[in-house]
Structure 1
Amino acid sequence: MPPVLPLLFALSVSAAPSAERAVLVDIHTADAAEVDALKRGRGVHWWLELGDRLLLAGEMTAESSLPRSTPVLGELSDLRLDELALRAVGCNEQADPPGELLARGGRWQLRRLAAGEALPHRADAHEQWRAVRPNEVIARQYRLDAPAGEPPDPAVQEVVDRLDTQRWFADLTELASWDRSSFGTTGLFAARDWIGQQFADLGLEVETPDFQMPDADGGSITRQNVIGRWTGAAFPDEWIVVGAHYDSRNQSFSSVNDTPGAEDNASGCAGVIEMARALLPSQPQRTIVFMCYAGEEQGLYGSQAHVDALQAAGDLDKVKAVIVMDMIGYSANSRLNADYESYSQTYLNRFGAAAATYAPELDVVLSLNPFGSDHVPYLDAGKQAALGIESDYDAYPYYHDSGDTPDHIGPHAQAMGGAILKTNAAVLAELAGTSAVTDRVFADGFD
């Protein structure tokens, strides 16, 4: 299955009076000047940037309005702006959502609704819809705006070099051996205890705080997050949170069996453990809170519980940055792509710059339109938080499926996971203050 669905435009028989023509082009190899020229091209009335896709609408056709070398994915003869909608896709994927899928970018789908069909108003942890605004960047490739690359920092490179993708994949495989639905107990609790033991073996202070969440029948159940805390000797009251959810699901929202969740999200949870292994020998100066959440698939309950607990304890102001990983191993082909999203462009640029220096094999797309994973409760609380996720997650054939097993993640798993881990570990090393980088981080400050 391809990593993204290209344009699914269908030519219409007739055009409404206010309809326009539109062209979708592939800009993944274009430079910033070329993208800007396309937006200002002849006949273009408005545009929409979707990562490596650019929609151009107006009085135009591919033949008459675009440079001959522009990779055109499709044309639409009668596009109406009021028929377009943007849909963010979370954990509760609908089999048949409204409208026709036109393109994807930055974890958002561009869909064309039927004539007269109202914009859906669902907005929760699983799904969100909104209207399209002309001349908007939904997601943008970092390389389009990247400054000249910085040489590697030796202290950061040392952390990155400690990452072991074979060890990470072995941990992923171990976690996928348990059914980890948050509605279950046996497998989820075994995974909880195993994660706690990995943290303890690294010398971290381990906690498994309780939180309440709804059960499948509308009652209430108690589940636990797993926290491994490193207290920074120099700056103990400045905290960096590194998190991922350890629960899983399959096609059935409430099933407690056949929920291996290798990609979603044993990959991210194993990534938290591997980043701890890579960072701790450098004796980070700030406090690092490594944690794995339960209850994500049902509505971000574990991460929200952590934010609530921080608020109640008066510790929320101590959190200076958050890094969340959700689905980091699958790639449909050898081209490695990752989406990073937050409300802070400055913070996102750290990840783009880190990838350019420490994981140049990774193409990074940045989005200021975050949605639907464990970074959201922190963002809602005003914290600097970012999600890293591989870009092909919703094209993964076993997404939310009982077949989400380690053998199905594919031949590029270690390369994909390794590239995201190198990027995240580099940012973490900079933020955490590892000897040589401590003074520079303080000079730059937190966003």
Structure 2
Amino acid sequence: MRLSTRAVILLSYLSLASSQNPLIQDFLSPDTWPPGPGQALVPQAPNAQLTSMLSNISSSNIETIINTLVSFGTRSTLSNQTSRTRGIGAALTYLQSQFNQIASTSGGRMNVTVQSFTQPAGGSFPVATKISNVFATLKGTENSNRVYVVSGHYDSRNSDDSDGVNDAPGADDDGSGVAVSLELARVMAQASLTTPPKATIIFACVAGEEQGLIGSNFMAQQLKTAGIDVQGMLDNDIVGSSTADDGTTDPFNIRMFVQGIPPTELGTSQVADRVGIGAENDSPIRQLGRFVAEVANNVQPVWRPDRFGRGGDHQSFLSAGFPAVRFTEPHENFAHQHQDVRVVNGVQFGDLSEFCDFEFNARVAKVNGAALWSLAQAPGTPKNVRSNTNVQTNNSTLTWTVDPNAASYEIVWRASDLPQWTNVVPVGKVGSATIQLSHDNAQMGVRAVGANGYRSPAGFPFSG
């Protein structure tokens, strides 16, 4: 059991004197540490529409998607691009068709894009190779360029990532993540007929991940160049199995990797600014992770960019300056990823559908769905949040830019050693508020509240 900072202080103090000492009694009295304003934060719960949407996510649909992708034999980036039955070209045709069918149910709110470019020869590419991302865009009602992205990669590999001929089924890596994008597109296209999202949502299936995040990097850079305000990207990669290599199962636990200091700040003065106020754990990336953990169940946040020595498409978005997190199953079975299909000493190797847990995959989709819809229905994350440090005071004055799409604002805070926000102070539709709590003693943030009750991730205040 991990002891909080407060508990450690208490134990040290109590070891020196009797607990009957009135000084100690005073020390023990606050219900929160540090004591401060507001009320206990109650996590956001799904409303009736979101609950109905999540219940509509189908493990049977996910199974069909994965089995269809596996049926193409290989989806290596270097495989056949013209066959309708085998290779990455067949997979692209299938995904585009599925997205088009889904878009036809959206009442015109969704459109489908195939984004292609040529990757020059070199490295993992023996010849210049066409890379194609395919995605569906569900247009929001808000007059802004605010966007959220959910993605999986549809390319696959076996033991040799330059092998474009032999089987590479890619059921879990990453047919499972592709299934999340497709299934969420389906349920949200239908939901948008009655209550469309306020922000735009992109449901993506990218290629070239196994050769170095090629497709997602192109997509992220295109969004950045176009000036799109991507306020959150959810990457799903290897989310299809709940069984570890020792046979144990963990069907209700989903890892979410969340980087701390943004890679765009590394090597700049921003790192010193962030470290100087103890904001290493309060980047926009961490705020996105906190938001997901608040609105969705079954999430195990891991405070690092990814597994040791590994990576995923979320890193392309992080490098472009966008907040992004990566979901993956709790215990990977390495005999079932990046392996030729074969049997060795009675052990089956290869990324086959038989090793997938489609109910678990559906739970991952529900976590993504709860987070994605809550993000898109809330106002955007407050911008230009500052804490006034010009006057020495034990109060804190925070300022931010007022968003016309926000109905009101809340200041949230927590003790600096806690992972999640614990307290909330409603302050109304204002661009400045003062609370009776020192910014030296706690971490604070400002979040926007919509007229529909949805709340945004928090914006963290820098000195100003």
Q: Same-fold call, TM > 0.5?
A: yes
Of 302, 323, 327, 2:234 maps to 323
| Structure-to-structure mapping, 1:46-65, within 5 angstroms | none
Match of 2:321 in 1: 382
Larger radius of gyration: 2
* TM-fit CA distance, 1:36: 9.2
> In the superposition, relative to structure 1, how do residues 212 and 40 fare at CA in structure 2: closer, same or farther (>3 Å)?
farther
Match of 1:266 in 2: 175
**Is 1:404 paired with 2:316?**
no
**Is 1:213 paired with 2:154?**
no
- SS in structure 2 at match of 1:244: strand
- Deviation per CA, 1:203-234: give whole Å up to 9, x if none: 13121111232554543211211021121233
* TM-fit CA distance, 1:300: 0.2
Report the AA paired with residue 373 of structure 2.
Answer: A
Report the AA paired with residue 281 of structure 1.
Answer: Q
**Is 1:429 paired with 2:373?**
yes
* Alignment partners' CA distance in 2, 1:39 and 1:419: 40
> In the superposition, relative to structure 1, how do residues 445 and 363 fare at CA in structure 2: closer, same or farther (>3 Å)?
closer
Match of 1:192 in 2: 92
* Alignment partners' CA distance in 2, 1:252 and 1:428: 35
* Alignment partners' CA distance in 1, 2:93 and 2:144: 26
**Is 1:305 paired with 2:218?**
yes
CA contact (8 A) 1:324 1:375 kept: yes
- Deviation per CA, 1:152-186: give whole Å up to 9, x if none: 32232122111111111111111111110001124
> In the superposition, relative to structure 1, how do residues 35 and 254 fare at CA in structure 2: closer, same or farther (>3 Å)?
farther
* Alignment partners' CA distance in 2, 1:38 and 1:400: 45
> In the superposition, relative to structure 1, how do residues 377 and 320 fare at CA in structure 2: closer, same or farther (>3 Å)?
same
* Alignment partners' CA distance in 2, 1:196 and 1:36: 54
CA contact (8 A) 1:322 1:383 kept: yes
* TM-fit CA distance, 1:442: 6.8
* TM-fit CA distance, 1:440: 5.5
* TM-fit CA distance, 1:367: 1.9
CA contact (8 A) 2:155 2:174 kept: yes
Q: Which runs of 5+ in 2 are unaligned?
A: 13-39, 104-109, 260-284, 342-349, 380-406, 408-448, 460-464
Match of 1:347 in 2: 288
CA contact (8 A) 1:249 1:297 kept: yes
Match of 1:182 in 2: 77
Report the AA paired with residue 220 of structure 1.
Answer: A
| Structure-to-structure mapping, 1:62-73, within 5 angstroms | none
> In the superposition, relative to structure 1, how do residues 368 and 282 fare at CA in structure 2: closer, same or farther (>3 Å)?
same
Match of 1:392 in 2: 331
Number of aligned pairs?
A: 303
> In the superposition, relative to structure 1, how do residues 36 and 227 fare at CA in structure 2: closer, same or farther (>3 Å)?
same
* TM-fit CA distance, 1:292: 0.6
Report the AA paired with residue 249 of structure 2.
Answer: S
* Alignment partners' CA distance in 2, 1:396 and 1:303: 24
* TM-fit CA distance, 1:276: 0.9
Consecutive aligned runs of 4 or more in structure 1 exceeding 6 Å deviation:
34-42, 434-437
Report the AA paired with residue 323 of structure 1.
Answer: L
Match of 1:369 in 2: 305
* Alignment partners' CA distance in 2, 1:267 and 1:311: 27
> In the superposition, relative to structure 1, how do residues 368 and 161 fare at CA in structure 2: closer, same or farther (>3 Å)?
same
Match of 2:387 in 1: none
> In the superposition, relative to structure 1, how do residues 397 and 234 fare at CA in structure 2: closer, same or farther (>3 Å)?
same
| Structure-to-structure mapping, 1:207-246, within 5 angstroms | 207-214=113-120, 216=124, 218-235=126-143, 237-246=145-154
- Deviation per CA, 1:105-158: give whole Å up to 9, x if none: xxxxxxxxxxxxxxxxxxxxxxxxxxxxxxxxxxxxxxxxx9765543223212
**Is 1:33 paired with 2:13?**
no
* Alignment partners' CA distance in 2, 1:35 and 1:331: 34
Match of 2:46 in 1: 152
> In the superposition, relative to structure 1, how do residues 419 and 152 fare at CA in structure 2: closer, same or farther (>3 Å)?
same
- SS in structure 2 at match of 1:33: coil
> 210-219 vs 297-306, which deviates more?
210-219
| TM-score scaled by length of structure 1 | 0.62
- Deviation per CA, 1:256-301: give whole Å up to 9, x if none: 2201100000110011000111222221222111111110000000
* Alignment partners' CA distance in 2, 1:315 and 1:446: 22
Q: Which runs of 5+ in 1 are unaligned?
A: 1-29, 43-145, 357-361
Report the AA paired with residue 181 of structure 1.
Answer: S
CA contact (8 A) 1:213 1:295 kept: no
| Structure-to-structure mapping, 1:102-181, within 5 angstroms | 149-178=43-72, 179-181=74-76
Query: What is the percent sequence identity of the aligned residues?
Result: 26
